[in-house]
Structure formats: structure tokens, C-alpha cells
Structure 1
Amino acid sequence: MLDPLTLLALGGAGMLAGFVDAIAGGGGMVALPALLSAGIPPVAALATNKMQGIVGTAMAALTYWRRGYIDLKRLLPAVAITFVGSLAGALTVSALDTSLLKVAVPVALIGIALYFLFAPKLSDADKAARLPFAAFVPVMGFAFGFYDGVFGPGTGSFFTIGFVLLFGLGLTRATGSTKALNLVSNLAALVIFIPQGQVLWPVALVMALGQIVGGYIGARTGIRYGARVIRPLVVVVSVALAIRLLVWG
């Protein structure tokens, strides 16, 4: 069992992770290193990170939904398909070679950062969709859900760019919809981790309390300031994730 000061520090890390994740995704970049630095074994750290992170994601998704930024009725088919995709990824990860992803994902994240940095028309206003929402959002959900089950980093950024580029959502609505799909993709991983006994529940509970606070504040910040805060934070988080993957793997 960890000492109280370490648990308090992890609770603070959970709050910061929830804040960042609610706006731009990538909260695991804060929470997972904190868990590993506390001496928690890698698999248990991954499982505990998913458990505490899902609480913050749920709080953020609820906040966006209550303020009208998530059309749950339109998203329901994608929610179900994303869960299936993530579960399939988690079940097949041991049979797949993920070495290519360690290079391809950072390149994709840098591309996303450049797009958000230089695209002149990014705003909170919806635009014309390039693909039919009902037919292709579930396809995107399965693809990125599968990726989340196999590898994971950057899933939120990929969902957000997909909602903006392919389906014409304004940045705040895209972020809210991302939280809904990210929630179920993380839940699928826990279906695997929890029966294995990998989640450290006392640590997950403390960090989850921080996540609730951080996720709520982050979602309110994203809703209040919209593209002005979401756009730069997506750039920073995407670049930071890319550097972390390239340097530390």
C-alpha cells in the first residue's frame, strides 16, 4: 500500500490529467508516468490508469452532454461499435506487431498538430460534412476503438480531427463527441483488465476523485472558451505525445 503523501500526489496528478483530457485528450500522458514513478508495475499502472481515467472522461462527457454539445441519439450506433472495436483490439493485441505504430502514430500526431496550428477556419461553427454522419461515424468508431485497444496514445486527438475534418462538427462539439466515444473505448479495456485483477482500487479511487474535479473544470473551460483554448491545447498535447512516443517508446 502506498503512503498517504504519494496517494495525495497521485490524486493531484489525476486532477491535472482530467483537466487536460477533457479539453484535448492525452490525460494519460500525465497520469501514467505518475503511476509508474510511484513504483507501480507497468501492467497494473496501465489498468489503474484506465480505471481512474474513465471517471474523468465520464464527467467531461456528462458536462458536454448536459450543455448540448453531444447529440447522444446520433452517436448511439457509434458508441456500440466503438466498444466492439476496442474490445476486439484488446483481445487481439498479443497477436499483432505494433512496432510500426510506434513510428506512424507520432507522425500522425504531428500532422494533427500542424493542421490545428495552421488551419485558418477552425472554429466552433459546424460546417458541411464530407461523409454521411450516420453511416461513417460508426466506421470511424470501430477503427479508432480498435486502435485504442491495441495501442492507445492519441486516440482522443484522432477522434477529434475525424469529427472536424470528416463530419463538419465545430471544435467544441467535436471535443464533446470525442469524450463520449473515448469513454466506451476505455471501458472495453477495463472489461479485460478488471477480471485479471490488475486494477489497484485504492489508487484508482483517489485518482478518480481528482479526475472528477479536473474533468468537470476542463469541460467547463472547453465549453466557455471553445476553439480559443481547445485548438492550442490539442496542438501542445499532440506534439508532447509524439515526442514522448518517439523518445521513450
Structure 2
Amino acid sequence: MDLLELFAQHDPIVLITLGLLSLLAGFIDAVVGGGGLIQFPALMITYPNTAVPTVFGTNKIAGLSGTSIAAIQYSKRIKFNWKLLLITATSSFIASFIGAKLVSTINVNFLKPFIFFMLIGIAIYTYTKKDFGSFSTKNLTANKKYFYGFLLGILIGFYDGFLGPGTGSFLVLGFVALLGFEFLEASAYAKVINCVTNVSALYVFISQGNYIIEIALIMAVANVSGSILGTKMAILRGNQFIRKVFLAVVCIMILRYGYDVFYS
């Protein structure tokens, strides 16, 4: 069976809808992370009878495609501290693996109220502090940068493996709050780290056959297109634009976790 026959098995309206939502998710994810808050629920709603691991695998293929392109685009404009990136990526990779292992043995719901109120605090602080992330605010020694990068990787990597939604946004926040980066620089670093934390999970899903290739391809193309647009917009419009998108994504996360805490 060729790809055209595979595509013919799906409702064209569903494919177009997924493509448009993946485009939007790629745009948001490239700017400040959090595209999965749109893309994953879209898959779950349009394919409710599909096994969750298959939905995860399909979503990861599309998401990693866009994130990789965004990382490449940012690398052309942002000068990376490669040692800091390596330390943060390594610690996040290990912590993500540990978090994924623990998720089946611990009830994750006990963390959701804490995350919900933490997100409210982040939204209030970001909204009231107008210059938050507008420029570099810390002049740290190299050792402090590497330590904070290691710590950030442990915390966010574990969260990514244990829960996951909004990992890219938490990475951006961590680079701004802990290392004093401006939003544009933080977004660039977050994209590279996000690629690393997703590679191992994607390898598992692909090796197990947990993906729908034709859906993944459509979403990947749309996600990459949105990612290119988002990266260009972030670079062109700068930190204040990224700050506004960050606030919007945090508000979406508050609604999502609020629903989980009070209604789910």
C-alpha cells in the first residue's frame, strides 16, 4: 500500500484540521515552546480510538521535526555556549529517562496542584515585571553557569519524562530566571535541549511501531512550516514579542492544569 492509499483512508477535513493546528503548534513552539499543548490534544480528539503510545509517537515525529528546524534557524543567529548546552542537554536526557521510568510507579496527579499554582505565580510575575527577559540580567562565572545549567537540565528533564506538557516553556523560563538570559537567547537554547530530550523517546516509539506514518508526515510538514515562521518572527520582533507569547502559553497551561485539578 503506497502513501496515497494511506492518505485516502482518512477524512480530508481531519487531515486539513490537523495540518492547520500543527502549523500553529510549530509557530508557538518555535517562539517560546508549548506547541504540544495544541498538537497532542488535536490528535487525541481527532483519533480518540487510537492507542495512546501511537498518538505519542505520531506527535513526537511532527514535534521533533519542527523543533529541529527551529534549533537550526536559531543557531544561525545566536552564539551558543556549547559546553553549557552539552551539560544541560546531558543532565536533562538522564533525568527525562528517570522521570519516564517513574511515571508508571507514582501517581503524577499529586504534582498537578503544585504546578497549577506555580504557573499562576509565573504569569503574575511575568506580567507585572515588564522588563523580565528583555535583556541579560546576570553576569555569572562560568562554573555557576554550568551548575545552573546542570540543575535546570535535571529539573526540566525530569518533568519532561514524568509529565511533559509545556516543557519548552519551562526551559525558556529556566534560562531566563536562573541564567539571566534574554527571551530570544533562552528560546534558542530551549530548542536545542528539547531536541535532545525528545530523541530517545522518539526512538522507543518508532522501534515499537507506535506511529501513523501518513498522519506524522502531514503534521511534520505543517509543524516545520510553522516553526520556520515562528523562528523568523521571534528573531524579527525580539524579546517583547516572545514575552507576550510566553504569557499566552502560560495562561493556556494554567487552564489545562486547572481543568485537571478541579474537574478531571
Fold-level similarity (TM above 0.5):
yes
CA positional deviation for 1:193: 2.2
Q: Determine if contact 1:22/1:57 at 8 Å carries over to the other structure.
A: yes
> What is the 5 A alignment of 1:22-61?
22-40=30-48, 41=50, 42-61=52-71
Pick the aligned partner of 2:165 from 142, 146, 153.
153
Change (3 A) 1:191 1:107: farther
Deviation at 1:142, TM superposition (A): 2.1
Partner of 1:223: 235
**Cα deviation, residue 180, structure 1:** 1.2
- Alpha-carbon spacing, 1:200–1:70, altered in 2? closer, same or farther (3 Å): farther
1:97 aligns with 2:107: yes
Counterpart in the other structure of 1:74: 84
Q: Structure 1 residues 153-162 or 190-199, which shifts more?
A: 190-199
Which runs of no fewer than 5 residues in structure 2 stay unpaired?
A: 1-8
1:238 aligns with 2:250: yes
Q: Deviations over 1:95-143 (max 9, x none)?
A: 1221112212222222222222111332442221568111220221122
Secondary structure class of the residue paired with 2:104: helix
Q: Distance in 2 between matches of 1:124 and 1:69?
A: 17
Corresponding letter in the other structure for 1:16: L
Aligned-residue CA RMSD in angstroms?
A: 1.9
Deviations 1:154-212 (A, max 9, x none): 22222112111111111110111111112212223223322232222211111000111
Matched, 1:127 2:137: yes
Question: Separation in 2 of the partners of 1:117 and 1:105?
Answer: 18
Q: What's the % identity of the aligned pairs?
A: 35
Q: TM-score, normalised by structure 1?
A: 0.92
TM-score by length of structure 2 reads 0.87
Once residues 133 and 156 of structure 2 are traced to their aligned partners in structure 1, the CA distance between those partners, rounded to angstroms, is: 24
Distance 1:70 1:90 in 2: 28
Kept in 2: contact 1:171–1:227 (CA 8 A): yes
Letter of the 2:195 partner, please give it. L
| Equivalent residue, structure 2, for 1:176 | 188
Q: How far is the alpha carbon of 1:2 from its aligned partner?
A: 2.0
Shift of 1:73: 4.1
How many angstroms apart in 2 are the aligned matches of 1:125 and 1:9? 38
Q: Which amino acid aligns with 2:46?
A: A
Contact 2:40 2:56 in 1 (8 A): yes
- Contact 1:106–1:246 under 8 Å retained in 2: yes
Amino acid at match of 1:203: I
In the alignment, the residues of structure 1 paired with residue 129 and residue 135 of structure 2 have an alpha-carbon distance, to the nearest angstrom, of 14
Aligned twin of 2:203: 191
- What is the deviation of 1:243? 0.7
CA distance in 1, matches of 2:33, 2:88: 19
SS at match of 1:167: coil
Offset, 1:237: 0.7
Q: 1:143 corresponds to which residue?
A: 155
Gaps of 5+ in 1: none
- AA matched with 1:148: D
Shift of 1:64: 0.9
CA distance in 1: counterparts of 2:16 and 2:176, whole angstroms:
37
> Deviation at 1:70?
3.7
Aligned residue in 1 for 2:6: none
